[in-house]
A and B are shown apart, each in its own frame.
Chain A
Amino acid sequence: MNIDILHQPDSAIAKLDLAPGESITAEAGAMVAMSGSMQVDTTLRQGGGGLMGGLKRMMTGESLFLSVFQASDRPAELFLAPKLMGDICVYPLQGNTLVVQSTGYLANTAGVNIDIGFPGLKTFFSGESLFWLSISGSGTVLLSSFGGIYDVDVDGEYIVDTGHIVAFEKTLDFSVTKAGAGWIGSILGGEGLVCRFRGRGKVYCQTHNPGAFGHLIGPRLPAR
């Protein structure tokens, strides 16, 4: 499969060329255009944790509608794009695990498995419908960002504001913590909670925070 990312960084769109029989899974609603011969299927992916776990996740909105695109007996083209202005990044997965913030997920090729929910990273976002995907296997993952995307090679310790995380490699150890020295200051300082990564691995960050942009525009709009 050939993947080209066009119109980077502000209006990135992924152009994928699928060979006959090849397939790709994408966030529902990400399809912009495709060949007429493409076969499309929709699935609902939910987190594990048995029946109760599944129900709980449905209640909290931790489910992901996915579209599966498969080329029929001839090559097909597909254009995928996220909703916000921003960039797309191609991540080659080689048997490792990538933890992705739900809005940072765009698509994945066959051979890649998505699990919803990531222990320890669930409930610390108040009022934002963010959750985490644990993506493993071998293949390609497409990540999308609000704003530009930059990766940091962590070797030691590094801190990222939770609203700026797109994805991180699971080789990294992390803890959710306060941004500054004291709790009160951290909350008042507007940073709230941050992720403190430890060890070795890559963190993908987005230059802009969708939540902060929402808080800027939201109060200027009439109440629903």
Chain B
Amino acid sequence: MHYEIRYKPAFSSLVLTLRPGERILAEAGAMASRSAALNQTTQLFGGLIPALLKHWFGGESLFVNQFVNPSQSPQDLVLTQSTLGDMQVLHLEGNAICLQPGAYIAHTSGVSVDLDWAGFSSWFSGEGLFKLKLSGKGLVFFGAYGGISTVAIRDEFVVDTGHLVAYEPSISMKIGLAGGLLGSMKSGEGFINRLSGRGTIYLQSRSVDGLARFLKPKLR
């Protein structure tokens, strides 16, 4: 499968060429355009119960679309995300990656999608009760609102909620307040993610909630 992320970083879009027989799964609504020869089918995101859990508690779509090339020649597919921002591709070689709600865009066959318990504190901070864990061998594409920064962490690292996009499963996450109850309310930082462990995390430079908070007082 040939892929290219074009229009980086603000309008990142995934331009794919599927060879005969190749397939990819993508978030519902991610398709911008495609060759008519590709076969598109909709399926539940990992079975009924996991799909419902992902939808209700993980902030993900209930469905994914599968694109298969049944023809004898290469076919094109363009995938995108709702937000403006960057995209990242990971080549999984038996390792895994956890995605925060809304980050998932697509994955190739060979990658399996599981739902891991994220905890009630994650739920309260608006980060979902479950997290998506993608593992296996293949490609995983995810996106962000704003630019994506890759940070290698060694022990403790603090990230504002709404800015974490993805992290390796070796990292554990605890939701906390930025600086005591009163301090957090005053500083406007609210909840934070307290990460610990060794591995790579991916941050987005903007947050959708931040945009909503900016717009709210301006509506009338």
Contacts and interface: CB of A to CB of B under 8 A. Distances in A.
Contacts of A158: 33-36
A208 B11 CA distance: 7
Most A-side CB within 10 Å, residue of B32, B61, B215:
B32
Contacts of A224: 219
Interface stretch (B79-87, B117-125, B184-192): B79-87
Contact of A222 (B34, B208, B216): B216
Contact of B32 (A160, A190, A213, A220): A160
A205 interface: yes
27 contacts: A9-B11, A85-B84, A148-B11, A148-B13, A150-B6, A158-B33, A159-B33, A159-B36, A160-B33, A161-B33, A181-B39, A184-B42, A189-B28, A189-B63, A189-B64, A190-B63, A191-B29, A196-B36, A203-B33, A205-B32, A206-B32, A208-B81, A215-B82, A220-B209, A220-B212, A222-B219, A224-B219
Interface residues of A, number: 42
Interface in A166-224: 179-182, 184-186, 188-191, 196, 203, 205-209, 212-213, 215-217, 220-222, 224
Interface in B89-128: none
Interface string B61-76: 1111100000000000
Interface of B: 6-7, 10-11, 13, 27-37, 39-43, 61-65, 78, 80-84, 208-209, 211-212, 215-216, 219
